[in-house]
Amino acid sequence: MARGGHDRVIAVHHEASGLRAWIALHHLGHGPAYGGIRVLNYRSEADALHDALRLSRAMTLKCVLAGVKGGGGKTIVMAEHMMDRSEAMKALGREIEALGGLYQTGPDAGFTAQDRIDLSSETSHAAQFFSSGELRSGGEATAEGADHGIRAALDFLGTPEVSDISIAIQGLGSVGMALAKRYLAAGARVFAADVNPEAATTAEEMGVEIVAPAKILEVSCDVLAPAALGGTVHDLSISRMNTRIVAGVANNVLGHAQQAELLRQRGILFLPDFVLNAGALIEGSGYSRTGREDWTEEIAGIGKTMREILERADAENKSTRIVAEQMAMERF
């Protein structure tokens, strides 16, 4: 079925395994839909559907601004209903395979290495960047792209030397940890927080200054990088921020779109997530189309796009999110 501007929205139910999921394909006019599988607990079917719709739409914007020939997709699996996780992922794989390549998927929050194995046993439409043991993780590619975007913003503000800045990272998953390593290597002061004590300990041993998760968004820093789940940048957290840049590394970091304007009014530069975190999309979709492994030049283009957004937002006195969406529609 089509809903809310989406080309296709599919409800998936597999009684034997307890699988309950939504597959949302936002736009199929320019190529396949790209987007990961998120496995989380949700309060209701409606909440899960809402997440699928908003995340798949953001993926279309990401594809357009990253120059990827395709549209946005997303799968949301309601984790609390699964009775047999392995069979649930196999059933989901069969649903994706039945789409005949319209949807190319990959990992998202809550999706595990075992999930990948089970899913891939039933479908060939899993993004190569995470299913091939020869390539680096999607987290590393995402961190590389985010680094280019952050450096473009620092240069825009007149701070080109990364060794002179501090960055606070919320979440030390595959992306957050890779980002922390990059900025430690560049000589920056790195703060971070994670609810997983093992991740925090690993980062601390690397030289990261660990902060309590409840305080990370309040750290005095040059760059604040939410790299966990979305929705953490909201009215209350914005009022407590002490940073020059909010870098949207996670998907949909804003609680609602208007908070980009609130950040602008506070003099905080917001780097839209659907621009900043496109590195894995560029690398994964590119490899699946061509077999080429090196997408360094294309990922570096994230910095150029971000600079264009920042300059245009400044000239037009608009939030960076509004300008980024306008640019996506113009290119679309």
- Residue pair 149/276 in contact by the 8 Å Cβ criterion: yes
Those residues whose C-beta lies under 8 Å from the C-beta of residue 63, and which sit 6 or more positions away, are: 30, 34, 69, 70, 71, 72, 281, 285
Please say if 74 is a catalytic residue: yes
Token pair belonging to 133: 């043991």
Cβ(253)–Cβ(230) under 8 Å? Answer: yes
> How far is it, in rounded angstroms, from Cα 28 to Cα 244?
37
DSSP state of 126: B
Q: Which residues pair with 224 in a beta bridge?
A: 168, 246
Residues constituting the chain: 332
Three-point CA angle 124, 293, 178, nearest 5°: 95
Active-site pick, 62, 69, 74, 90: 74
Q: Which residues of 144-154 are buried (b: 16+ CB within 10 A; e: fewer)?
A: bbbbbbbbbbb
Taking the C-alpha atoms of residue 145 and residue 298, their distance in angstroms, rounded to an integer, is: 9
**DSSP conformation class of 195:** S
Host H or E run for residue 104: strand 103-104
Tokens of 278: 């496109």
Catalytic residues: 74
